[in-house]
Amino acid sequence: MAIDTLNMHELARRVSSVSHALAEQQTRFLADLISIRSYTGEERPAVDRTLEELRRIGCEEVWMDSAGNALGRIGHGSRVILYDAHLDTNQVADASEWPSPPLQPTIDPARNAMHGLGASDCKGGVAAIVYGAAILKALELSGDFTLLVMGATLEEDAEGFALRSLVERDGVRPDAVLLAEATDLSLRRGQRGRCEVRVRTRGQAAHASQPQMGENAILKMLPVVSALEAMNASLPAHPLFGRGNQVVTMIEGPHTPNSVPSWCEVTVDRRMVPGETMQTVLEGIRRAVEPLDAAAAVPDQPVLTHTGLRLDGPSYYPGWLLEEDHPLIQAGQAACGALFGERPALGVWRFSTDGTYSAGAAGIPTLGFGPEEEQYVHTAQDQVNLEKLRKAAEFYALFPLLYQP
Ligand SMILES: [Zn+2]
């Protein structure tokens, strides 16, 4: 049935009624995902479980792409909309900090929340997009769209790399991307970018008993570190994102305690505002460090998919910002209005997402909406509210019908 045969109120009522009917099944799916360990590059069992659920909810085509993402398709209309939520989680630092074991899904009845590793980043998002598709399918709603639902891989270590592979290697290019990362049911239209830069000084080795015979690369690094830190005051700024920043996060040298070090390398974590590129970042840093006889480069991020594919690439993740009046945002606002009776807040993320590829590199309009709350991401209190999880699925069911680019 097409959307114009129903008025919006009736449509929202039907979506809500089905989301309630499917809520228990959705919660079970999330619990299963949490109980499956899926560190970056080891997502296969979680991918298999997602493929099984995509089949169960009635996707017309279900497959794993070459980078090992789980994909399901509904419809075959001209507008291709991709829902992306990642299956990999960060690693648990100290399981003893957790109220219950990280891989044991636990419901807190007082807060109606499910706890467990990845609940807020991003398995709650996966359960939201898969059940958005389930509602759409159950109501047999259709339109001139193709909906792709993706349980993505590799996001924690190399955000955007698995999505790049889907687009550039497998040739699946969506017209719009929605990211189900933490937004607490509000809309996000951009993110800061990040880039890793390695800065190296060279000296000359000599025995530490005769330091005058050599040149100490660590001592040469001292003014370089100061210069990198001093750059913070004048990095590019943006009205929404504020000023970028950079932090010297690691320092390395030869592992010989009794030699004058012949090299020293620091790692810089740089956070960028939209508009900055790898070239502008490198040029700025080179201007500061080359007069001090240091060299700067962006290293390759090593990336190995669970399918055995190497996707190594520059450790560069551009920021992005969608125009405030873009049809994606209008559709998101209309969906929230129809379902929840209110206009959602519209903001930006401080952290990086797969949008760094879709919007930052490939120029595909991208919007964020998810049930998870940022305060629980990467913490021992990792959780997602089950009512928000159900509501996010409603949003994802209605969205394709309202998106009119
Ligand atoms: Zn995430």
Give the model confidence (pLDDT) of 285-307 as tens digits: 999 999 999 999 999 999 999 99
- Reported as a single tens digit per residue, the pLDDT across 124-182 is 999 999 999 999 999 999 899 999 999 999 999 999 999 999 999 999 999 999 999 99
- Rounded to the nearest angstrom, the distance between the alpha carbon of 206 and the centre of ligand 1 is 47
Domain spanning 197-301 has what CATH number?
3.30.70.360
Span from the CA of 13 to the centroid of ligand 1 (angstroms): 31
Give the separation between CA 287 and CA 137, rounded to whole angstroms. Answer: 56
Which of these is catalytic: 155, 215, 265, 373? 155
Split at pLDDT 50, 70, 90, the class of 1 is very low
Asked whether 55 and 130 are in contact (CB, 8 A), the reply is no
pLDDT at 3 over 90: no
Q: Is 138 helix (H, G, I), strand (E, B) or coil?
A: helix
From 43, 88, 372, 382, active-site residue:
88
Catalytic residue flag (residue 155)? yes
Q: Answer yes or no: are the C-beta atoms of 294 and 251 closer than 8 Å.
A: no
Q: Separation of 158 CA from ligand 1 center, angstroms? A: 11
CA of 120 to the centre of ligand 1 (A): 8
- In the predicted structure, residue 2 carries a pLDDT above the cut 60: no
pTM of the model as a whole? 0.94
Out of 3.40.630.10, 3.40.190.10, 3.40.630.30, 1.20.140.10, select the CATH number for domain 3-191+319-402.
3.40.630.10
The answer to whether residue 334 scores a pLDDT higher than 50 is yes
153 CA to middle of ligand 1, Å? 10
Told to judge if 88 belongs to the known catalytic residues of this protein, a careful annotator would answer: yes
**Res 322: pLDDT:** 98
Round to the nearest angstrom and report the end-to-end CA distance of the chain: 21
Question: How sure is the predictor about 119, in pLDDT bands with cuts at 50, 70 and 90?
Answer: very high
Mean pLDDT computed over every residue of the chain: 96
- The mean per-residue pLDDT over the stretch 9-22 comes to 96
Burial zone of 158 (CB within 10 Å; 0-12 exposed, 13-18 middle, 19+ buried): buried
Band of pLDDT at residue 93, cut at 50, 70 and 90? confident
Q: pLDDT of 209-249, one tens digit each?
A: 999 999 999 999 999 999 999 999 999 999 999 999 999 99
DSSP 92: P
Q: State what percent of residues in the chain have pLDDT above 90.
A: 96
On the question of a cis peptide bond just before residue 122, with omega within 30 degrees of 0, the verdict is yes
Res 221: pLDDT: 98
Ligand 1 mean position, distance from CA 227 (Å) = 33
Q: What is the mean pLDDT of residues 38-57?
A: 98
- Token pair in block for residue 83: 């829902």
One DSSP character per residue, 330-374 reads HHHHHHHHHHHSSPPPEEEESS--THIIIIIIS---EEE--S--G
Q: Which residues pair with 368 in a beta bridge?
A: 179, 188
Report the separation in Å between the CA atom of 156 and the middle of ligand 1, taken as the mean of its atom positions.
6
Q: According to the model, what pLDDT value does residue 4 have?
A: 56
Q: In the chain, what are the domain boundaries?
A: 3-191+319-402, 197-301
**Whether pLDDT at 351 is above 50:** yes
pLDDT in tens, 354-374: 999 999 999 999 999 999 999
Give me the pLDDT at residue 349, please: 95
Residue 173 in tokens: 């290019």
